[in-house]
């Protein structure tokens, strides 16, 4: 067995473990993850991962924290793009779909870990931050008259349900012959129209019992 520190002179064993764990997660699922197997894959002693993760659950939680951190970075980048606020809302939706499709097993782990009874404060905060980023942009859009009135957090939840559902269909190969980019553009067009003041008024009129 190679010396535990031999391949990691610069103290990057933790990062190497997480990178390899994400590869295993993507190809074989969370049930295939173990600290012992990761140590073997990286050529370190079986005890070496214990310096960074007390057990398998700590490793899974770290993967989830890293996933939410990366997702939030992508959402912030989309929000910070120049241009009209409607364009930034659409960019945020595309950022979520792109992440969700590219990292489906990781995203599933992220939500499972976030809602676990013993989830850490850091993990819950990072998970909530994704919604807060969307809600903050929606609140700004409301002030500019681009989005209907209402609780920004609830509107953000609805928006997330649309893009998350689309991503789930794509991951499950349920979009048939519709390219993902085309489906994303259409879903975002429908979503933003519905969020807008004009769409809200039209929907309310249609919903009236005496509407034609």
Distance from the first to the final alpha carbon of the chain: 77
Share of the chain above pLDDT 70, in %: 88
Verdict on whether the full-model pTM lies above 0.95: no
The band of 210, judged by pLDDT with boundaries at 50, 70 and 90, is low
Residue 156 has pLDDT above 90, yes or no: yes
Q: Which fold has domain 55-207?
A: Tetracycline Repressor; domain 2 (1.10.357)
pLDDT of residue 21: 96
Token pair belonging to 152: 């920004």
pLDDT interval class at 50 (50, 70, 90): confident
**Using CA atoms, how far apart are residues 88 and 204, in angstroms rounded to an integer?**
26
Residue 212 has a CB neighbour count (10 Å cut-off) of 5
pLDDT score recorded for residue 13 = 93
d(CA 59, CA 57): 5
Region 129-151 average pLDDT: 96
* Burial of residue 84, with CB atoms counted within 10 A of its CB: 0-12 exposed, 13-18 middle, 19 or more buried: exposed
pLDDT, one tens digit per residue, over 107-138 is: 999 999 998 888 889 999 999 999 999 999 99
- Of 1.10.8, 1.20.120, 2.40.30, 1.10.10, the CATH number of 1-53 is 1.10.10
The pLDDT of residue 110 is: 95
Can you give the pLDDT at residue 112? 92
Residue 117: the pLDDT is 84
Q: What's the CA gap between 128 and 71, in Å, rounded?
A: 12
Q: Higher-confidence residue: 2 or 172?
A: 172
DSSP 50: G
Question: Domain limits of the chain?
Answer: 1-53, 55-207
The predicted model gives 1-27 an average pLDDT of 75
| Confidence grade of residue 24 (pLDDT, cut at 50, 70, 90) | very high
**What is the average per-residue pLDDT within 162-184?**
96
């Amino acid at each position: 067995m190679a010396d535990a520190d031999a391949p990691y002179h610069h103290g990057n064993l933790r990062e190497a473990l997480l990178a390899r764990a994400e590869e295993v997660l993507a190809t074989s699922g969370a049930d295939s993850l173990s600290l012992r197997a990761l140590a073997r894959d990286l050529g370190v002693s079986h005890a070496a991962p214990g310096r960074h993760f007390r057990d398998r659950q700590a490793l899974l939680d770290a993967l989830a924290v890293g996933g939410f951190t990366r997702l939030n970075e992508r959402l912030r980048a989309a929000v910070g793009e120049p241009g009209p606020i409607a364009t930034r809302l659409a960019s945020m939706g595309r950022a979520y779909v792109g992440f969700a499709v590219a990292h489906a097993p990781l995203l599933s782990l992220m939500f499972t870990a976030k809602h676990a009874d013993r989830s850490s404060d850091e993990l819950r905060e990072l998970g909530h931050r994704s919604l807060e980023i969307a809600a903050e942009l929606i609140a700004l859009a409301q002030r500019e008259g681009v989005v209907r009135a209402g609780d920004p957090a609830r509107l953000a939840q609805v928006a997330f349900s649309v893009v998350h559902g689309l991503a789930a269909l794509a991951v499950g190969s349920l979009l048939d012959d519709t390219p993902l980019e085309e489906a994303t553009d259409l879903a975002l067009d429908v979503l933003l129209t519905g969020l807008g003041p004009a769409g809200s008024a039209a929907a309310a009129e249609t919903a009236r019992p005496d509407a034609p």
